[in-house]
Amino acid sequence: MKDILDYFQKNPDALDTLEGIATWWLLNRYPTQEVQAALCELVAAGLVVERRGRNKQTYYRRGGAAV
């Protein structure tokens, strides 16, 4: 999803959960399921990295590949 990549371009150190991305980054313009599907595609492409926090939530950050 271009909006997620654009956000990372402007905020390369950003880190957030699915809910945070959908609510704060994308301002609820897309259904959460659509944001989740986009994040899965971006993770598979290496553009976004997901990791599990100590609180058991999954966090997303910019991947090693250039966005």
Q: What is the pLDDT of residue 32?
A: 96
pLDDT value at residue 1: 84
Q: Specify the fold of 2-62.
A: Arc Repressor Mutant, subunit A (1.10.10)
Angle in degrees, 0-180, between the axes of helices 32-44 and 2-10, rounded to the nearest 10: 70
N-term to C-term CA, the chain: 11
**Structural domain boundaries in the chain:** 2-62
pLDDT of residue 67: 46
Residues 1-14: tens digit of each pLDDT: 899 999 999 999 99
**What DSSP state is assigned to residue 28?**
T
Q: Examine the pLDDT at 19 and tell me if it is beyond 90.
A: yes
pLDDT in tens, 29-66: 999 999 999 999 999 999 999 999 999 999 999 997 54
Q: Do 46 and 8 form a contact (C-beta atoms < 8 A)? A: no
